[in-house]
A and B are shown apart, each in its own frame.
Chain A
Amino acid sequence: MTDSASHPASPASTQKAPPSRLREFWSSFKENRGAVIGLIVFLGFLFVAILAPLLAPYAPDTQYRDAQLVPPFWQEGGSTRFLLGTDAVGRDLLSRLIYGARFSFFIGLLVVTLATSLGVLLGVIAGFAPRWLDTLIMRLMDIVLSFPSLLLALVLVAILGPSLLNAMIAIAIVLQPHFVRLTRAAVLTERSKDYVIAARVAGGRPIRIMFRTVLPNCLAPIIVQAALSFSTAVLDTAALGFLGMGAQPPTPEWGTMLAEAREFILSAWWVVTFPGLCILVTVLAINLMGDGLRDALDPKLKRS
């Protein structure tokens, strides 16, 4: 029996250690074609956002009074001077969209970082805390979750005052209960395992056990939730921007651009279509990527 096992295997494969976690993750991630496409689109947007000043033909807020509501170049009346046309005050739409990618990424990153760090911290505490504190935290989160998220964000922005930063803080607060629940659930399943008791017997203090022993083993679902929240953050900020409660003009934020262009929906389709498309494609790409992440990180969903 040992013969058949060792013989056909090439010497190279017997020498090699089993594949590392990262390699294993990548091989199951790339099986999901949608996720790979999502990742490519996401990286493309990231690239555009970083190199915005080099890629954009004009500054995002320069007005060309001679060219207001110019259509895209392939339409009659359009020119290659403004590839995607201009808006009502003569600003180049393409440049604004390119700069807008920066805002979307900034929003996504900041909101997700804020919501994740706060949510994970509260979740770990709730998972380890005595019953009364656990109940207190979880009921508070239930209250936050019981409001429609956009409505609560609107209320918070109304209290804090409309600005991009306040909109982001509001959205982070609205998203954070999901992280708390997810983390708590994962912590509760992990903390009763033998290796956690072993760490206690080895002399680990509670704080160390919470954050060094248990938390790293709870990360997979949190990473997936963070990836999916990225798109929610972009979408909600756009919605707040559209309602005039987020980024203020002339910031080239996609949702705000939509709001500004609202009155031209019928006369100049391009001013609303392109920002809308950008939001759609980004959110779709991130969601696809998040689904792929979940499939790759969650062994229960692995197709084998």
Chain B
Amino acid sequence: MSEAILTAKNLKRHYEVKGGFLKPDATVRALDGASFTLTPGKTLAVVGESGSGKSTLARVVTMIEPPTEGDLIIGGRKIGPEGASGDRDLRAMVQIVFQDPYGSLNPRQTIGQTLMEPLLLNRPEVSAAERETRARDMLAMVGLRPEHFERYPHMFSGGQRQRVAVARALMLEPKILVLDEPVSALDLSIQSQVLNLLMDLQERMDLAYLFISHDLSVVRHIADEVLVLYLGQPVEIGPKQAIFEAPRHPYTKALLSATPVADPALRKERIKLEGELPSPMNKPQGCSFNPRCWRRQDVCTKVEPELQGQGHCFACHNPIPLDETEAA
């Protein structure tokens, strides 16, 4: 296995919320202690329901926001609170593709200008002619035609825009690409095109992907490893195979059982979770999943479980036994 390009240790990101009159200030624990590594050529998928801290994780890893606590080590270098400002090489290492292809492209810039901007800002030594050549090459690489170079974003469909967004992210030849739900705003048929493009590019450029999604069928298709987040905390992390076939954490199992399967003959037992995601301002005591868990024990309401296990880790006091998961 090749060496890790990014290591995150106990990453936290908290937001302070001003309380106002007669209300104390509160802390939103959007991301509360995530640890993982990214390896070149491999994809780590991050899954979880809305509000579980997936996008916050993306922003921290992309160095848009500094982590409140914890270490982020990229390419052997520890990232300080100043992020990547003033360091062009570091900036070029991590790039991001956003969820909404309609909001992520500047409507006043042609596709060519959008693609050339990262080079202009980070590689001033590259001549204007060379810049344009590289941008045109990249356009071809993501499957767009040369005449698209001069056009504006409003002339493109969602799938084409997302290709442009991918092309822009790759202009600086990054090592890590953060994909924040890159296909959830697209049609199903376009989704697979973009996913195949992403997998193709990963192979060609040996990229490490941090793939954020709530769509488990997409994750099953693209991921090597899966990290399950619940309320900003990782509850289970492991190889795709292990997570999908033998989930140990009840939340992962519930999440998997909610995935629709295109087989009417197969009647799957769906686990319905009670209640809502608790507020990240006011987390329950002990395991944060305990109010919704059907395997709750006394210890769950008191002691916070630690991630345990090798390779396939999970944070649960009463994990689903292996034989039971295999039966399901």
Contact residues of A: prevailing secondary structure: helix
Among B48-80, those with CB < 8 Å from A are: 62, 64
Contacting B at CB under 8 A, from A175-230, are: 193-195, 197-205, 208, 213, 216-217
Of chain B, the residue at the smallest CB distance from A202 is B118
Out of A199, A201, A213, A217, name the residue touching B62 (CB < 8 Å).
A201
Looking at the assembled complex, report how far the CB atom of B125 sits from the nearest CB atom of chain A, in whole angstroms: 14
B 199-249 contacts with A by CB, 8 A: none
Task: Please tell me if the beta carbons of B108 and A216 are within 8 angstroms of each other in the complex.
Answer: yes
Q: Does B121 lie at the interface of the complex (its beta carbon under 8 Å from any beta carbon of A)?
A: yes
Q: For residue A217, which residues in chain B have a CB less than 8 angstroms away from its CB?
A: 106-108
Q: Which residue in chain B gives the minimum CB-CB distance to A195? A: B106
Q: Which B residues are CB-close (under 8 A) to A21?
A: 152
User: A195-B103, A198-B98, A199-B106 known; A17 and B151 CB under 8 Å?
Assistant: yes
Query: B132 contacts which chain A residues (CB < 8 A)?
Result: none
CB contact under 8 A between A203 and B91, given known A18-B155, A21-B152, A198-B168: yes
Contact yes or no, B121 A203, CB < 8 A? yes
With an 8 A cutoff between CB atoms, is B304 at the interface? no
Q: Which residues of A contact B151 (CB under 8 A)?
A: 17
From residue A214, how far is it (CB to closest CB) to chain B in Å?
Answer: 9
A196–chain B nearest beta-carbon distance, Å: 8
Interface range for B: 20 to 34
Chain A, Cβ-Cβ closest to B62: A201
C-alpha spacing A208/B105, complex, angstroms: 16
Residue B95 lies at the interface, judged by CB distance under 8 Å to chain A: yes
Interface pair B118/A203, CB less than 8 Å apart: yes
A142 to B107: give the CA distance in the assembly, Å.
32
The complex places the Cα of A18 from the Cα of B91 at a distance, in Å, of 36
Residues of A with C-beta under 8 A to B172: 202
A201 cross-chain contacts in B, Cβ below 8 A: 62, 64, 91, 94-96
CB–CB B117/A199 < 8 A: yes
Contacting residue for B122 out of A194, A195, A203, CB 8 A: A203
Question: What is the CB-to-nearest-CB distance from B113 to chain A, in angstroms, rounded to a whole number?
Answer: 10
**Contacts between the two chains (Cβ within 8 Å), count:** 59
Return the contact of A198 from the options B91, B104, B122 (Cβ within 8 A): B104
A interface residue count range (under 10 / 10 to 19 / 20 to 34 / 35 or more): 10 to 19
Could you tell me if A203 and B88 are in contact, using CB atoms closer than 8 angstroms? yes
Check B64–A200 contact: CB distance below 8 A.
Answer: yes
A197 partner, pick from B64, B91, B121, beta carbons under 8 A: B64
Set of chain A residues within 8 Å of B173, measured between Cβ atoms: none
Instruction: List the A residue with the shortest CB-CB distance to B94.
Output: A201
Q: Chain A residues with Cβ under 8 A from B104's Cβ? A: 193-195, 198
Given contacts A202-B168, A203-B121, contact A197 B155 (CB under 8 A): no
Question: B155 — which chain A residues lie within 8 A by C-beta?
Answer: 17-18
Name the A residues within 8 Å of B64 (CB-CB): 197, 200-201
Q: Please, which residues of chain A bring their CB within 8 A of the CB of B105?
A: 195, 198
CB interface residues, A 89-134, toward B, < 8 Å:
none
Instruction: Verify A202–B121 contact, CB threshold 8 A.
Output: yes
CB proximity to A under 8 Å, residues B82-126: 84, 88, 91-92, 94-96, 98-100, 103-108, 117-118, 121-122
Contacts of B165 in A (CB 8 A): 198
* Contact partners of A197 in chain B: CB under 8 A: 64, 96, 98
- Neighbouring B residues of A213 by C-beta, 8 Å: 106
Task: Tell me the minimal C-beta distance from B57 to chain A in angstroms.
Answer: 15
**How far is the CB of B138 from the nearest CB of chain A, in Å?**
14
Q: Which residues of A contact B62 (CB under 8 A)?
A: 201
Chain A min CB distance to B254 (Å): 31
Interface string of B118-145 (1 = CB under 8 A from A): 1001100000000000000000000000
| Cα distance, A193 to B99, chains bound together (Å) | 12
- A27 CB to closest chain B CB (Å) equals 15
* A217 closest partner in B (C-beta): B108
Q: How far is the CA of A153 from the CA of B84 in the complex (A)?
A: 48
With a CB–CB cut-off of 8 A, which chain B residues contact A194? Answer: 98-100, 103-104
Which 9 pairs of residues, A with B, have the shortest CB-CB distance? Answer: A194-B104, A202-B118, A203-B121, A194-B103, A194-B98, A216-B108, A195-B106, A203-B122, A203-B91
A interface residues (Cβ-Cβ under 8 A, vs B): 17-18, 21, 193-195, 197-205, 208, 213, 216-217
Contacts A/B (CB < 8 Å), 15 sampled:
A18-B154, A193-B103, A194-B104, A195-B107, A198-B168, A201-B62, A201-B94, A201-B96, A202-B172, A203-B88, A203-B122, A205-B121, A213-B106, A216-B108, A217-B106
